[in-house]
Amino acid sequence: MSHTILLVQPGLRPETRTYSDYDSINECMEGVCRVYEQHLKRINPNTPTITYDISQLFLFLDKLADISCLVYQKSTNTYAPYNKEWIKEKIYVLLKRAAGRVSVSRFLINQTTNVRQLVKKVKSLTDIIGRVSVCRFLVNQATNVRQLVEEIKKLADIVEI
């Protein structure tokens, strides 16, 4: 965690300069995204949900008169300056990681839904055939979840659930 100061100058006039400080580089990059989101809300006040992609964010950053970061360097007890391109690179990495987490979350949500359906099928089957028989059958027949789902479907077709 390196203390990071974000310096933004949206317009040509020096009076438009602002700064924000953050506990880490990632928090600062999230702050840059929030600056863009606030801009979008200002220009689209009647839009309930704002969406954008990284190219739009980068275009916004390119239109700013200036944006840079100062990142604390513990070893020298100083702040190192970083330019717009560095900020874009860090945002890209941050959003790529976030997208990966979203994909994993969606996968897990889908799997949870499938598992719930699977559990319902298994419960129905256990009522018909008996718990021990179904468990032994499923364990013997399936080596992974996909196979397990297929075996349950086959069994469900046999007993017409």
Rg of the chain in Å (alpha carbons) = 26
Could you give the percent of the chain with pLDDT greater than 70?
62
Residue 158 CB neighbour total at 10 angstroms = 11
Q: Which two tokens stand for residue 81?
A: 């300056």
Is residue 161 scored above 50 in pLDDT? no
Which range among 14-18, 31-35, 139-143 shows the weakest confidence by mean pLDDT? 139-143
Distance CA 156, CA 30 (A): 49
Distance CA 108, CA 89 (A): 29
pTM value is 0.62
Domains, the chain, ordered by start = 4-101 (3.30.2260.10)
Distance CA 4, CA 27 (A): 9
Helix axes 131-141, 145-159, angle to 10 degrees: 130
**Over the stretch 82-101, which tens digit does the pLDDT of each residue have?**
999 999 999 999 988 887 76
